[in-house]
Amino acid sequence: MIPRTSVHGEWSTRLAFILAATGSAVGLGNIWRFPYMAGENGGGAFVIVYLLCVLLIGLPIMMSEVLTGRRGRRNPMDSLKAVAEDEGRSTIWQYAGAMGIITGVLILSFYSVVAGWALAYVPNAARGLFAGMTEIQSEMMFDRLTANPWVLLGWHTLFMAMTVAVTIRGVRHGLEKAVRILMPALFVLLLVMVGYAMQIGDFEQAVEFLFRPDFAALGTNGVLAAMGQAFFTLSLGMGAIMIYGSYLPSKASIPGSAVAIALTDTLVAVLAGLAIFPIVFGSLLEPSAGPGLVFMTLPLAFGQMPYGSFFATVFFVLLVFGAWTSAISLMEPIVTWLVERVNLSRVSASLLAGGGIWLLGIGSVLSFNLWSEATLFDRTFFGMLDDLTANIMLPLGGLLIALFAGWVVSRQVSAEELEGAPAWVYPAWRFVIRYITPVAVLAIFLNAIGVFQN
Ligand code: TRP
């Protein structure tokens, strides 16, 4: 068989892939979502379940996505279809890819609105508005921003325009260089924040909160939320990593790349937690403050720091970049699908997808103001989308990808794709992806709907 190639080209090196995939993984999920989810679900026990999910569910599924993408060399739907056909199996598997593409659209619609908050905080920081601010003032700044639909819409529009501008040109251009510089910068700045939070906040209580498990505080929904967070933060379950895998040169080793990406991502999330919770416990803010948590805590710290306005500006610029490189990966599956299946040009595909996502995002914009009282199951439109995608659609997509890579893809093919690692890695991966990962995802689902309760 002649190996397929992607019409969109290849990464120049394995490092380019690692950087792009790390850019996808590291974003608002680490710095915005992880702390607020950990805070809402009681801390330590959530963190432990999340770390276990990264290891036993996330890592093997990441390898599965990359191998399927590289074998298929197309958008997630057609990669699954092509690989299933190679194996002489049913092409019904392609619908797992279709669901993933839709999941990406749904996620980006609210992700862009939150990225808009980060954009809005750049000028706030640069103008020195954080200087000497109190908890109340910090909360008021966030509430004032989210209360204004027009302002939110403006930032959401800008962020979607930035994302479309990149997917129009193709993701392989510029992404590598941007990530190579900005990711280490974000990392260093987070370290500075942790160091500063240690001094001014209650570091001991933060460590206790994040790492001392209290399983009573977790509950069944907390377990599901921890798994959802693992999928969300690693960009798994919808084909984002699969599409990046479809541009990976054939020779590059997959397992080592997956470990590097997952480790970096986890480290950034833990650092974000260690920067934010000392400030929470050293102030009047509550860990369970919800989606605004990061935006209310960090400005407080910047406001007291020497050169705080400068550091704050750099931080929010880097956060925007993190969100940007993630958003691009959420867009790429739908854009390549439109190019490959509907025969649109990259420009039309990007504009069409971006326009649709922008429109859908208006629902999330309004969730924080005009529609804040319009709830279903106690959730706003935004809360509904966040919950549905992260806790149901991504794990379901991940489950299907695990079953596909473990049971549909032949041993010969997966072994060939996962070459280049120590000898024990392949059998370990194969055992985990066939038996452990699917059972774990299913058990957490069943647990959440109350099957194991008596
Ligand atoms: N992982 C990114 C973050 O943590 C968000 C993201 C990018 C994502 N691509 C994804 C989430 C695909 C789920 C699926 O910010």
Query: Is the CB–ligand 1 distance for residue 349 below 6 Å?
Result: no
Does residue 214 sit within a domain? yes
Largest Cα–Cα separation, the chain: 66
Q: Are 30 and 269 a contacting pair, CB within 8 Å?
A: yes
Which of 329, 332, 334 to probe ligand 1 with, by most ligand atoms within 8 A of CB? 329
For 161, other C-beta atoms within 10 Å of its C-beta total 12
179 C-beta closer than 6 A to ligand 1 = no
Position 4 in a domain: no
- The pLDDT, as a whole number, for residue 1 is 64
Residue found under tokens 């794709």: 417
Question: Does the Cβ of 118 fall within 6 Å of ligand 1?
Answer: no
Asked whether 367 and 381 are in contact (CB, 8 A), the reply is yes
Q: Full-prediction pTM beyond 0.85?
A: yes
Number of domains forming the structure of the chain: 1
* Interhelix angle 14-25/175-200, nearest 10 degrees: 50
For residues 156 and 116, is the Cβ–Cβ distance under 8 A? Answer: yes
CA angle, 240 as apex, 239 and 245 as ends, to 5°? 90
By C-alpha distance, which of 104, 174, 160, 167 is closest to 346? 167
Q: Whose CA is nearest to atom 10 of ligand 1?
A: 235
**Continuous H helices in 368-452:** 381-387, 394-403, 411-417, 425-431, 437-448
Q: Is residue 243 part of a domain?
A: yes
Distance CA 381, CA 359 (A): 13
Range of the domain at 43: 14-448
376 strand-pairing partners: 379
**Is residue 29 within 6 Å of ligand 1 at its C-beta?**
yes
Confirm whether 1 is domain-assigned.
Answer: no
27 in ligand 1 pocket by Cβ < 6 Å? yes
In this predicted structure, what is the pLDDT of residue 54?
A: 98
- Residues 6 or more apart from 281 whose CB is under 8 A from it? 201, 202, 205, 206, 209, 287
Expressed in angstroms, the distance from the first to the final Cα of the chain is 54
The finding on whether 433 has its CB within 6 A of some atom of ligand 1 is: no
Distance 241 CA to ligand 1 centre (A): 9
* Predicted local confidence at residue 454, as pLDDT: 59
Q: Residue 254 in contact with residue 417, Cβ under 8 Å? A: yes
| Cα angle: 350, vertex 319, 307; to 5 degrees | 145
Name 405's Cβ contacts closer than 8 Å, sequence gap at least 6. Answer: 63, 64, 67, 68, 414, 433
Is the CB of 146 within 6 Å of ligand 1? no
Please write down the long-range contacts of 397-400, taking CB distance under 8 Å and 24 or more positions apart: 397/96, 397/99, 397/100, 397/103, 397/237, 397/238, 397/239, 398/57, 398/61, 398/231, 398/236, 398/237, 398/437, 398/441, 399/437, 399/438, 399/441, 399/442, 400/93, 400/96, 400/99
Domain contains 8? no
Q: What pLDDT does 172 receive?
A: 81
Is the CB–ligand 1 distance for residue 109 below 6 Å? no
Nearest CA residue ID for atom 12, ligand 1: 235
Q: Is 166 part of any domain?
A: yes
Q: Tell me, yes or no, whether 5 lies in a domain.
A: no
Atom of ligand 1 nearest to the CA of 326: 7
Ligand 1: residue whose CA is nearest its atom 2:
25
Is the distance from the beta carbon of residue 326 to the nearest atom of ligand 1 less than 6 Å? yes
Residues 6+ apart with CB under 8 A from 53: 226, 227, 229, 230, 231, 440
Q: Which atom of ligand 1 is nearest to the CA of 240?
A: 12
From 159, 233, 318, 332, the mutation candidate for ligand 1 (largest count of ligand atoms within 8 A of CB) is 233
d(CA 77, CA 100) in angstroms, rounded, equals: 8
Q: Which tokens belong to 405?
A: 């890579």
**pLDDT given at position 380:** 94
Instruction: Please report the atom of ligand 1 found closest to the CA of residue 239.
Output: 12
Q: Could you list the pLDDT tens digit for every one of the 454 residues in the chain? A: 678 999 998 998 999 999 999 999 999 999 999 999 999 999 999 999 999 999 999 999 999 999 999 999 999 999 999 999 999 999 999 999 999 999 999 999 999 999 999 999 999 999 999 999 999 999 999 999 999 999 999 999 999 999 999 999 887 887 777 788 888 888 899 999 999 899 989 999 999 999 999 898 898 899 999 999 999 999 999 999 999 999 999 999 999 999 999 999 999 999 999 999 999 999 988 999 999 999 999 999 899 888 999 999 999 999 999 999 999 999 999 999 999 999 999 999 999 999 999 999 999 999 999 999 988 988 999 999 999 999 999 999 999 999 999 999 999 999 999 999 999 999 999 999 999 999 999 999 999 888 887 5
User: CA 142, CA 139: separation in Å to the nearest integer?
Assistant: 5
Please indicate, yes or no, if residue 6 is contained in any of the structural domains: no
CATH number of the domain within which 439 lies: 1.20.1740
Atom 9 (ligand 1) nearest CA: 235
Distance (angstroms) between ligand 1 centre and the Cα of 330 equals: 7
